[in-house]
Structure 1
Amino acid sequence: MEAEKELSPEQREELLTTLKGRFEKNRRRHQDLDWAAVQAKLEANPGKLWSLHEMERTGGEPDVIGQDTSTGEYLFYDCAAESPKGRRSVCYDHEALESRKEHKPENSAVEMAADMGIELLTEEQYRQLQTLGNFDMKTSSWLKTPAEIRKLGGAIFADFRYGQVFVYHNGASSYYAARAFRGSLRV
């Protein structure tokens, strides 16, 4: 199974070129970081590169938003202006998907993220992302939901309207054409 989670040399080079271009275009997101160091870390972690490829393939436009000073890991978030197109119309998790009697979506946010090797953004991470630009002005994104909310059948999502981040709740089995999820990856 791991063999399918490797990029061809062409895919790897194309992705690195895309990531480098995005990194240079959006210096505000990572002012004190150096692309050569990020690229070296990526090249040493082909599985993480595959996850970034999946983020890119599904419309997430991943970019470096910082570095964890305690671990040295670079933090990538989905930075597409709107919730990623290739991940929309999904309910929150597998349990929610199974609970639907009819009109089931094809997948869930939690399962897709796990398959991609990434994590859903938490509320705190989503708010951090919004300090780097305006995201989800027309769409919304599922967020990692606290267990106590999920146990009661709910899940949380967020968007940016009227100059403000709003965090809402929905039944975890709901899904909408304008809602996907944003992910994070540590490399």
Structure 2
Amino acid sequence: MNNNLLSRKMLAVFMTVAVLIVYICVAKIDIVSPGTGVITGASDKLVIVSPDSGFINKFDLRTGSKVNIGDILFSYTNLDVFHQEKTLNELVLFADRRIVSLEEDQRLLKILLAGEISEESEFSTENKDFFSQELSAYKLLNEYFSLRNEEKNLKLREEKMIEEKNDLHDRLLLLKRKGNLLKSARAPE
């Protein structure tokens, strides 16, 4: 009886394994994996290559549809490429802004080196749109204007000092004359 029970258990395990093997061979198991696909013709085989991840936006392929060369079968958004494109666009915009800034900087430097700017107010009314603290030419121009103003102030101070010196010299001469007059008049001291 023990032998009979053991053979029934072995038969049940063998039958279960056989049924599972037949089910695995016959049943279709669909595996869904995200990615892009390349469909090749000339046979019934479908080759799917998945190098990049993304989302399918539009899928225009149906069972039995005729496909011609150049037909767009589906469109998808590749996140890696999307972010790379966004980064590159931002880099291009930054480079464009930098180019404009450098061109304006160059223009200001040329004007400054040519000495075409006589007054600060003339420059500021001409270039209100381009006043940018980032431009090195603008900083140089501000330094130039402040040095020129300082030079004017020093010249004014020098002129005033010369006037004051002349005034003091005139007073000294006047005091000497008064002293001489007082001496000649024999006035008491």
- Give TM class, smaller chain: under 0.3
Q: Between the two structures, name the one with larger relative contact order (CA 8 Å, sep ≥ 6).
A: 1
Which structure shows the bigger proportion of residues in helix conformation?
2
State which structure, 1 or 2, has the greater radius of gyration over its C-alpha atoms. Answer: 2
Which structure shows the bigger proportion of residues in strand conformation?
1
TM-score, length basis structure 1: 0.22
TM-score, length basis structure 2: 0.21
